[in-house]
Amino acid sequence: MELLRNLISGPTLGVILAVIVLIIVIGTGYVKAPPDTAIIISGWRKKPRVLIGRAGIRIPFFERIDKLTLGQITVDVKTGEFIPTKDYINIMVDAVAKVRIDTENEGMIELAMKNFLNKTQEDIIVDLQDTLQGNLREIIGTMLLKDICNDRNGFGNGVQESATPDMRKLGIEILSCNIQNITDRNGLIEDMGMDNTAKIKKDAAIAKAESERDIAIAQAEAKKAANDAQVKAESDIAEKNTQLEIKKSNLKKEADVKRAEADAAYRIQEQEQRRAIEVNSVNADIAKNERMVELKKAEVNVTEQALDAEVKKKADAEKYAAQQKADVELYQRQKEAEAKKYEANQAAEALKIQAEAEMYAAQQKAEGIRIIGEAEAASIKAKGLAEAEGISKKAEAQKKMGEASVLEMYFNAFPQIVAAAAKPLENVDSITMFGEGNSAKVVEDIVKSIQQVSKGVEASTGINLPSLLTGFLGGKALKSASQDRKEDNPDGDDADQEV
């Protein structure tokens, strides 16, 4: 509150009051003039301000507002009584003048303000009628009746020119002046019209007669010209018809000749076309056959390429699958080896720890083990001597058996050899043989497999099984024969027995 009191009591109060006064002045003194009205603000300045179609500010109590109409004003101008013309014929004239206040020329608006300020259009019309009527009477006295009637536009322009100086003194501009009506006391204007009417009728009758004459002459000449034109036209038509018939005959003759030539040429052309068609047909068949051969070749090539591509693709796929499988197996084996290695290392480490842990116990038990070992060594020695003796006896027995022992082992292994040679045949569902000797071929392959086994035994041990078998069988046979001879000749000598 104290602050508000300080502001109100200080210099700010004067500013606020000035602003309030300014707002009141602007609100009450704002003036806006329309385009057809002039607002004059006077009182404060020596020269009043004129507002036309714009806004302004009036200072209340010091300036006043006045209005001046700027719109177009229509003034009826009548003589009111008969006025003599230059040829002394009394007439009465009724005219209409269009005027307005001049705002374009300098100083005219000031004259209009002095004469018509705050007046209505009716008041302005009354003030102007007297001046315009005086100018109208003045112009009537300077013109002939005939000129007034025949040249109303000139008459109106004369009235306008005569009244312009007087109107300019009032600040008025005359826009136009039109004569509406002219009357006279004795009906002379009507008589002048009748005279003119008779003259016009006379001139019209003469013009009509001359026109009818000219029409008759023109009709006769036109009829003659039409007849001449018709005769000439018929003659020309007959001549043209004759020429047309002659031309038709010539054209028909030429057309017949051309038709005959065309028919002959057509038949020749038809033969040529038929021959060409036949030749082209044969050529087309030949070309078609050649094309079919080429097409067949192309189809064969395409088929071959497709088969090659399919086989190659299948082989590549199998190769890729095998490679992938091998890579997988190798990777698995590597991982397994790494796992086993890791397990072995872990086991070795465990064994090492266990061995170190058990080392002491082993050292403690060493003495007992040594004693036990001596006893077991004696036992093992006895057992070894016994086994050695048994092996020695077995060797002596085999030595005595000699080749028979080897043959025994061979014949024990022979069924297994034959079974191994025939093992691949178990995977065969059926065998189709063509021709003769194929079964013998199979047996021959099996025998060759056995022979290869015998050769492998010979290469590894140095024992020739067929020779051994042959010698064994031969010895048996000689022994059997000798025994038979002994039985037949008990008294024979030793030399014979030995043989």
Give domain limits for the chain: 18-66, 71-186, 403-425+440-499
- When the pLDDT of each residue in the chain is averaged and rounded to a whole number, the result is 76
Range ranked top by mean pLDDT from 76-80, 202-206, 395-399: 76-80
Digit-coded pLDDT (tens) for 438-448:
556 656 666 66
Residue 297 confidence (pLDDT): 81
Residue 494's pLDDT band (boundaries 50, 70, 90)? very low
Across 203-220, average pLDDT? 82
Residue 358 confidence (pLDDT): 75
The single-letter DSSP state of residue 120 is -
Q: Which residues of 226-243 are buried (b: 16+ CB within 10 A; e: fewer)?
A: eeeeeeeeeeeeeeeeee
> What percent of the chain clears pLDDT 70, i.e. is strictly above it?
70
Residue 210 confidence (pLDDT): 81
Residue 496's pLDDT band (boundaries 50, 70, 90)? very low
Residue 495 confidence (pLDDT): 38
- Compute, in degrees rounded to 10, the torsion defined by CA atoms 352, 353, 356, 358: -110
Please name the amino acid found at residue 371: I
Token pair recorded at residue 5: 């009191």
Contacts of 146 (CB under 8 A, 6+ apart): 192
Least confident residue range of 51-60, 79-88, 138-147, 442-451: 442-451
Token pair recorded at residue 325: 């499988």
Spatial contact of 198 and 175, defined as CB atoms under 8 Å apart = no
Residue 57's pLDDT band (boundaries 50, 70, 90)? confident
Q: Is the pLDDT of residue 176 over 80?
A: yes
Q: Which residue has the higher pLDDT, 320 or 481?
A: 320
Q: Which residue has the higher pLDDT, 185 or 97?
A: 97
Across 431-455, average pLDDT? 61
Residue 434 confidence (pLDDT): 53
Q: Is the pLDDT of residue 492 over 60?
A: no
* Gap between the Cα atoms of 116 and 108, Å rounded: 12
**Residues 234, 239, 245, 251: is their CA dihedral positive or negative?**
negative
Contacts of 351 (CB under 8 A, 6+ apart): none
* Gap between the Cα atoms of 95 and 97, Å rounded: 7
* Gap between the Cα atoms of 138 and 158, Å rounded: 10
Percent composition of the chain: helix, strand, coil (DSSP 3-state, to 5): 75, 10, 15
Residue 98 confidence (pLDDT): 92
Quick one: fold of 71-186? Tetrahydropterin Synthase; Chain A (3.30.479)
What is the helix (H) or strand (E) element at residue 90, kind and residue range?
strand 90-101
* Gap between the Cα atoms of 102 and 52, Å rounded: 13
* Gap between the Cα atoms of 86 and 145, Å rounded: 7
Digit-coded pLDDT (tens) for 70-79:
888 999 988 8
Please name the amino acid found at residue 44: W
Spatial contact of 148 and 182, defined as CB atoms under 8 Å apart = yes
Q: Is the pLDDT of residue 215 over 60?
A: yes
Digit-coded pLDDT (tens) for 276-323:
887 777 788 888 888 888 888 888 888 878 777 777 777 778 888 888
Q: CA dist 45 to 30, 40, 42, 471, Å?
A: 17, 12, 7, 173
Range ranked top by mean pLDDT from 127-141, 270-284, 431-445: 127-141
Residue 228 confidence (pLDDT): 84
Digit-coded pLDDT (tens) for 102-115:
888 888 888 888 88
Spatial contact of 140 and 88, defined as CB atoms under 8 Å apart = no
Residue 408's pLDDT band (boundaries 50, 70, 90)? low
